Chain A
Amino acid sequence: MNSIEKMRNRFIYLSLIIPLLLLVGFVVIPALDLFRMSFTNWDGYSQNSQFIGFDNYISMFKNKDLWVSLKNNGIYFIAHLIFIPIELLFATMFTSKLRGAKFYKSTVLLPYIINGVAIAYAFSYFFSPINGAFDSLLGLFNLEALCRNWLSDEKVVNYVLSFVSLWRFSGYHVILFMAALQSIPKDYMEAAEVDGASSFQTFRYIQVPSIILVIDYMLFENIRGALQVFDIPFVMTAGGPGYASSTFTLYTIKTAFTFGNFGLASTMAVAIMGMIVVIYIIQNKILHYSNGPSGKKFLSQKIGKKGSKKEVQG
């Protein structure tokens, strides 16, 4: 090994020390401690705690309020999942030669820039039963019959909260899709145009496969976001009435701080990490299976074919 290589290696090691220490100190050790705490009955105050084996895990599975909360997370997940194709379509429209596209682009991102808590507060007044703007709007169009207790009716509250979540995050998703769409080499699009591909065919066989990694990321974000949703229900309903609009994270925090059971709350935190990974793996399998037997490879082959066509024509 010559001196330049030695210096290079030394530089690499030195550069790695700080990020590695930060990673170990702030991610690895807390995660391991969280895992350790999930087997204890620590109450958050006491100096000591006892090891109680799998009691917390058993208690978590038996907790029906937690299952109600998890079901509510499912509503956010499905609502956002349904919206992903719509967001993709909007992104495609905005990247095409649409009149006023720049205006739409900036407007669509606006809700994401605004502070989440502020949005939740604003919408809690929007859906307020006393002088609420939404009920007034319905009244304006003689639709008073549709008025509900938007934030306290167990049957509708989660859909209202999911709507607020969609309002806040959809714009961000559209912008990410747009960035991905704009990164597709123009050659592919031109080749498809020359071949006489329709807009749908271009979308289906060129654009979607080209941004499959971003779609993957978005689906992962959907799982993570849906399972960790917190600020909107916390501010708008505090998880109520009862646990009707509670979410997994909200219930975890309640377990830790209201019921003083940090051990069980740690178990829930471990469970949420596990769920995110498991659901992502299942979703990934389904997505790539539906795209063909060999998944991404199959898609990249298609892109390759389109690319080579252009080369031939060129």
Chain B
Amino acid sequence: MKKKTFAKILSTMMIATCLTACQGGNTPEQAPAAASATPTEATQNGNAELEGTLVFALWDNVSIELFESMDLEGRFQKLYPKANIEFEKLKDDSEYWNAMKVRASANQLPDIMYNKTFTLSRFQDYLLDLSTTEAVKNNNIAEGYRLNGKILGIPEKMTCEYVYYWKDMFKEAQVEVPTTWTQFEEVAKKLQAYYGSSNPNFSAIAIGGKDEWPTYPFVEFMPALISGNGQNWNTMSTQDEPFAEGTDIYKAYQKIHSLFQSGAFGKDPLGIGNDQATALFAQQQSAILASGGWALANIKEGANSIDNLGTFYLPVRDSESEPFRTITQGDSFLSVTSSSKNPELAKAFVEFYFSDAWYPDYINAITDDNTMKTVTKEKDPVLAEADTLQPNKELVMYDGGGDNFTALVSATTFDYKKLGAEMLIKGYDLNSTLAELNAKWKAARQSLNIQ
């Protein structure tokens, strides 16, 4: 009898514990309801009484340093004296997305988080609509990223992809800035032959293949640049065999494969990570580095002088008669999560972030382009060189792929960054991989019923 009583007590305690744990967080649907007033109203009403601590998660080293040196929290507290900001820095973007994913499932996202084009749709159930904010009204490109009628993140910058190069090394090896893919491949080979003969550690193009993601300027963006279709991943979702001969992705990957197998990446591009590759480029152990505008700060940090540093856009076209295309996209989308305990304050922070009290100083301190109508910004002279070389370039607005593409990636395990790294393996058989991907893609579309 006593055993039964004990068992009953134990069961009751366990159920109570589980129920308490389940009640611990608001559901994503419940949390937004707590925000009765929009931040716009709050700001207009001068609601300086808003209080609480906002957790702001990010991975970008440059941003976190600027937030601290330019006193983001102090400036915000001038408007909202009772508010605090807690920065949560994660090692890199991979770790950041892993952490956010785990925390989303536990409804423990930070109050403010950064998103990218391709993560807005993934986190859409956990982000608040920012459509009514002044920040959205003053943003040049936010409307373009509306999802199911909502604006879930405001892009703080426009990013472009560049090819960094050392002008003095080009001059000594007697090569010119390339304007077609064939020229680019030839330049890389000539540089490798010229400098590699006396320096076994030299690589014409620096790439941290060990980390896989540094292959993205090639494998992620080139298919979109081939046709000028920034929605290429979404287009792929509508095709049964997107890797078949003649498709954008096929053409792009054949070009990349040819370059990656040419030996222009040095003796062991898969043995070094991005930090090492950037350091080697900064020390002129490499002549070329393909990366985003964000990499300029790292190059400056590692280089003795940047007097001879120049940029050009990656030439993907086959001939000079074709249009010269380059990729651009909104980046670092500031979002307020539904897990926020202070959604009103979080929205007020977003308004502040894109206001004159913070944004102009911040955007002028980083290398990327501005997204706000209220601000004008001159490009960094090193990055502006790419524009000077290609004044008539065609901009391709990149989209990271929607729900169907994500579902197909999951089902087929298509990982373009890993594939890029694999293309660096000597003798890698790309055609059989593409054929295999075609078969998997077709089967996945059928099983997922994607039209």
Point out residues on A near B: beta carbons under 8 Å.
13, 17, 20-21, 24-25, 29, 43-47, 63, 65, 124, 127-131, 149-152, 154, 237-238, 240-242, 255, 257-261
Contacts and interface: CB of A to CB of B under 8 A. Distances in A.
Contact of A44 (B105, B285, B407, B415): B105
A241 B209 contact: yes
23 contacts: A24-B14, A43-B406, A43-B410, A44-B101, A44-B102, A44-B104, A47-B28, A63-B413, A128-B272, A129-B271, A129-B272, A130-B268, A130-B280, A149-B267, A151-B268, A151-B271, A152-B209, A152-B270, A240-B209, A240-B418, A240-B422, A241-B424, A261-B411
A20 B7 CA distance: 12
A110 B106 CA distance: 38
Contacts of B105: 44-45
A14 to B, nearest CB: 10
Which of B13, B14, B271 counts the most A-chain CB atoms under 10 A from its CB?
B271
Contacts of B6: 13
B410 A241 contact: no
Contact of A130 (B13, B94, B276, B409): B276
Contacts of A25: 14, 17-18, 21
Taking chain B's interface residues, is the majority helix, strand, or loop, or is none over half, making it mixed? helix
Most buried by A among B10, B28, B104, B201: B10
Given A130-B280, A151-B210, A152-B209, A65 B413 contact: yes
B15 to A, nearest CB: 11
List of 9 A-B pairs having minimum Cβ-Cβ separation, nearest first: A152-B270, A129-B268, A129-B271, A149-B268, A242-B422, A152-B271, A151-B271, A259-B410, A257-B98
A286 to B, nearest CB: 36
A21 B14 contact: yes
Given A45-B123, A46-B125, A259-B410, A149 B270 contact: yes
A261 B276 CA distance: 32
A234 to B, nearest CB: 11
Given A44-B105, A45-B123, A242-B421, A21 B270 contact: no
B123 A240 contact: no
Contacts of B98: 257
Interface string B18-29: 100100000010
Contacts of B104: 44-45
Contacts of A154: 425
Given A128-B276, A130-B201, A259-B410, A240 B270 contact: yes
B385 interface: no
Given A152-B271, A238-B212, A257 B101 contact: yes
B134 interface: no
A151 to B, nearest CB: 5
B13 A238 contact: no
Contacts of B267: 129, 149
B413 to A, nearest CB: 6
Contacts of A124: 273
A46 B102 CA distance: 12
A294 to B, nearest CB: 39
A154 B410 CA distance: 26
B122 interface: yes
Of A127, A130, A131, most buried by chain B (CB within 10 Å of CB) is A130
Contact of B413 (A130, A151, A259): A259
A45 B101 contact: yes
Interface in B233-284: 267-273, 276, 280
A242 B101 contact: no
Contacts of B97: 257
B60 interface: no
A240 B14 contact: no
A223 B17 CA distance: 35
A159 to B, nearest CB: 15
Contacts of A242: 418, 421-422, 425
Given A21-B14, A45-B126, A129-B271, 11 more contacts: A17-B13, A43-B407, A43-B410, A44-B105, A45-B123, A130-B268, A149-B270, A150-B271, A152-B271, A237-B210, A255-B413
Contacts of B271: 127-130, 149-152
A260 B100 CA distance: 13
Contacts of A24: 14
B201 A21 contact: no
A121 to B, nearest CB: 10
B17 A21 contact: yes
A20 B17 CA distance: 13
Contacts of A237: 210
A152 B125 contact: no
Contacts of A151: 210, 268, 270-271
B410 A261 contact: yes
